[in-house]
Amino acid sequence: MSTINRLPLFDLSHLHGNPEQRPAFLTSLNETARDVGFFYLTHHGIPETLQQQARAFFALPDEEKQRVAMIHSPHFRGYNRAGTKLTRNQPDWREQFDIGAERTTLQLTPQSPRWWQLQGPNLWPEAQLALKTTLLTWQQAMTGMAQQLLRAFTEALALAPHTFDALYGEKPNEHIKLIRYPGQSAQGSQQGVGAHKDSGFLSFLLQDEQAGLQVEVAPDRWIDAPPLPGSFVVNIGELLELATNGYLRATVHRVVSPPAGQERLSIAFFLGAQLDAVVPVYQLPPQVARLAQGPTSDPLNPLLRDVGWNYLKGRLRSHPDVAQRYYANVVAKAEHAAH
């Protein structure tokens, strides 16, 4: 059983540091990614400019936020009130605003895979016009930094430097969530967000001063990941676990609601693969491959190697109202197949 009590800390500047710093960084990254799957990242070069704008968005009148509600988007973009998103069929007590890559809607034909409908424009609040520019600029900076870290993983695993490039390609699945967790009484469910793994390559979380994030470092053993100024909390997604036959670890995590009278604000960035990609199993060097334990999968939510279908499946489960409005035939077909 893991004896870790605190997440490891990495300084990204060491990736480009002196001859001693770089190999030490890669060795530690390899071990952490295999054993924990979570870590803090500092000196990442991304300015912290979003907290104030995120708070301003959540402070908008409800009618303004409802103008950009996710129910208006077949691409699963926009605002959700607390309690409307589900994790493991239980409501998450958080309000959030989802933004994806700003791209044109694809024209569907009867032969098109339905995950094509995931691509499209975002919904932007007219009452806060600066949010669009700020978030899209931050999204591109985060993608660049995430790709830099992905290439560090390939080097740590003794793979070719651009091994993962073909998976995220020209249109990576970039996803931002602005998240506000209202306080709950001790008698409430305490599920800010339920226990889950992330589905993409890498996830980055910018936390405010309020604690709440917890990581399952061993079965039924949870540790806190308290806020650390100037850092992101980084975790590995299921896509990398699949691609490395379980060598890289996608770790279960959750957020506990803050106490009554307090709130928690966080901003998450997820880098995923192109929707038309199919995840292979990469040939790892023998000394690495022998430590791979195979990917783990929830039997109620099995992993798919077809990225578009896997991502759509997750969206349909998390947002049943949007699923019923725009994907009713997909939902009905899945329910029929399950029976």
Query: Is 219 inside a domain boundary?
Result: yes
* pLDDT surpasses 80 at 214: yes
The pLDDT of 134-153, averaged and rounded, is 94
* pLDDT surpasses 90 at 295: no
**DSSP 8-state code for residue 122:** P
Count of domains for the chain = 1
Q: Position 4: which residue type?
A: I
* pLDDT surpasses 90 at 89: no
Long-range pairs of 67-70 with CB within 8 A, sequence gap ≥ 24? 67/123, 67/125, 67/126, 68/97, 68/123, 68/124, 68/125, 69/123, 70/98, 70/123, 70/319, 70/322
* Structural tokens at position 318: 């998390």
* Structural tokens at position 238: 């299921």
* pLDDT surpasses 50 at 274: yes
**pLDDT, position 338:** 57
The pLDDT of 114-121, averaged and rounded, is 96
Residue ranges of alpha helices (H) inside 49-195 are: 51-58, 62-67, 130-156, 165-168
Q: Which domain holds residue 331?
A: 9-338
CB neighbour list of residue 77: distance below 8 Å, 6 or more residues apart: 70, 98, 99, 100, 120, 121, 122, 123
pLDDT-wise least confident of 110-114, 164-168, 172-176, 250-254: 164-168
Query: Is 2 inside a domain boundary?
Result: no
Q: Give the C-alpha separation, 213 to 207, whole Å.
A: 9
* pLDDT surpasses 90 at 91: no
CB–CB of 2/220 below 8 Å? no
How confident is the prediction for the chain on average, in pLDDT?
91
* pLDDT surpasses 70 at 233: yes
Length of the chain as a residue count: 339
**pLDDT, position 190:** 87
Query: Is 3 inside a domain boundary?
Result: no
The pLDDT of 88-111, averaged and rounded, is 92
pTM: 0.93
- Model confidence over 276-285: pLDDT tens digits? 999 988 889 8
Which of 70 and 334 is assigned the larger pLDDT? 70
Query: Is 324 inside a domain boundary?
Result: yes
Query: Is 37 inside a domain boundary?
Result: yes
Residue of 216, 213, 217 lying closest to 3 (CA atoms): 217
* pLDDT surpasses 90 at 337: no
Query: Is 1 inside a domain boundary?
Result: no
Query: Is 90 inside a domain boundary?
Result: yes
The pLDDT of 139-147, averaged and rounded, is 94
Query: Is 142 inside a domain boundary?
Result: yes
**pLDDT, position 227:** 95
* pLDDT surpasses 80 at 44: yes
pLDDT-wise least confident of 125-134, 161-170, 173-182: 161-170
**pLDDT, position 1:** 42
**In CATH, what number is assigned to the domain containing residue 97?**
2.60.120.330
* pLDDT surpasses 60 at 228: yes
Exposure class string for 12-42: b at 16+ Cβ within 10 A, else e = bebbeeeeeeeeebbebbbebbbebbbbbbe
pLDDT-wise least confident of 3-17, 190-204, 294-308: 294-308
**pLDDT, position 303:** 65
